[in-house]
Structure 1
Amino acid sequence: MVYDKVIEIIKEEFDVDEVNENTLLREDLGTDSIGLLELVMAIEEEFDIEIEDANLDDIKTVKDVVDSIEKIKG
Structure 2
Amino acid sequence: MTFEKIKAIIVDQLDKDEEEVQLTTNFREDLDADSLDLFQIINDIEDEFDVKVETDEGINTVEDLVKYVDSQLV
TM-score, normalised to structure 2, is 0.92
CA–CA separation in structure 2 for the residues paired with 1:12 and 1:71: 24
Number of residue equivalences: 72
CA–CA separation in structure 1 for the residues paired with 2:65 and 2:42: 9
Q: Does residue 57 of structure 1 match 2:57?
A: yes
Q: Identify the residue that residue 7 of structure 2 maps to in structure 1.
A: 7
Shift of 1:65: 0.7
User: Which residues in structure 2 correspond to 1:39-54 (within 5 Å)?
Assistant: 39-53=41-55
Q: Does residue 70 of structure 1 match 2:70?
A: yes
TM-score, normalised to structure 1, is 0.92
Aligned-CA RMSD value: 0.7
Q: Identify the residue that residue 16 of structure 2 maps to in structure 1.
A: 16
Which structure 2 residue ranges, 5 or more long, are not aligned?
none
Q: Give the aligned residue type for 1:70.
A: D
Identity score, percent: 38
